[in-house]
Copies of this chain bind each other. A is one copy, B any other.
Amino acid sequence: MPEAAGSHIPAFERLNSLPVRRSLGQGVFENLKRAIIEGDLPPESRIVESRVAEALGISRTPVREAIHKLEREGLLRQGPRGGFFVAGLSSSDIEETFGIRSVLESYAARLAALRHQEGELRPLEEKLEAYEKSLKRGDLDLLPRINTEFHDLLYGLSRSPRLIKMINDLRDHIYRFRLVILRIEEMARLSNRDHRLMLKAMRERDPDEVERLVREHILRGQSVVLREFDMAGN
């Protein structure tokens, strides 16, 4: 909400910049989630309520909330003797997740091709230009972020919020592994070519072509990640 209700009343303007009143539990949830998907909490490491609570200077209650939510989301598993652990990913987990992404995201792209409206492709073009600029400069670190934003914009045009949420949840699970794809400059260039082709097919409203492009785009990512993963001795 960029234009909040009272934003034009000078005396109250500052109130809008106050931190949003979020529950402690929600904060813990988001923090833990970030820590897990970014790899700060390595797989198989144990999560102990009281430790987390103590570290954050709060009670166990909100920590429990967060842990249970993360368990439902599949980022934590409870060991056979109780106790929660960060869920690790096997090679087949990764393969499975990329496979599911390939059908969900290609479907979202198909819907986007059918449903996008006048002018909505402009932000995609801009993102693409930003990507190419970074690529030319050798700023490979920026690419994952821009890449994700491009795909978010694309899927956003599907106007299917549940689908988008599912896609995002899946991406969170394998966030760490997606990073390696664009660190290979050859892949970064291939990605860019794919994006150009997607945009072209979007303009021509060719759902079959867009669907095919996204599917192959993701499956290429899958093979890169699996190769890296297996080489790392997993």
List A residues at the B interface (Cβ < 8 Å): 25, 64-65, 68-69, 72-74, 93, 96-97, 99-100, 103-104, 107, 111, 160-163, 166
Q: Is the CB of B163 within 8 A of A96?
A: yes
Apart from A68-B69, A99-B111, 17 more pairs, CB < 8 Å: A68-B68, A69-B69, A69-B72, A72-B72, A72-B73, A96-B162, A96-B163, A97-B162, A99-B107, A99-B163, A100-B104, A100-B107, A100-B160, A100-B162, A103-B104, A103-B107, A166-B166
> CA separation between A69 and B29, bound complex, in Å?
12
Q: How many copies does the complex hold?
A: 2
- In the complex, the chain B residue whose C-beta lies closest to that of A23 is B82
- Smallest CB–CB gap between A82 and chain B, Å? 9
Most buried by B among A69, A73, A93, A111: A69
> CA separation between A99 and B115, bound complex, in Å?
14
CB-CB under 8 A from A162, the residues of chain B are 74, 93, 96-97, 100
Q: Is the CB of A96 within 8 A of B65?
A: no
> CA separation between A96 and B97, bound complex, in Å?
21
The 10 nearest A-B residue pairs measured at CB: A103-B107, A69-B72, A103-B103, A72-B72, A96-B160, A96-B162, A65-B68, A100-B163, A68-B69, A68-B68
CB-CB under 8 A from A104, the residues of chain B are 100, 103-104
- Smallest CB–CB gap between A156 and chain B, Å? 14
Most buried by B among A74, A99, A107, A162: A162
- Smallest CB–CB gap between A91 and chain B, Å? 14
Q: Could you name 6 residue pairs across A and B whose Cβ atoms are closer than 8 Å?
A: A25-B68, A68-B68, A96-B162, A96-B163, A99-B163, A166-B166
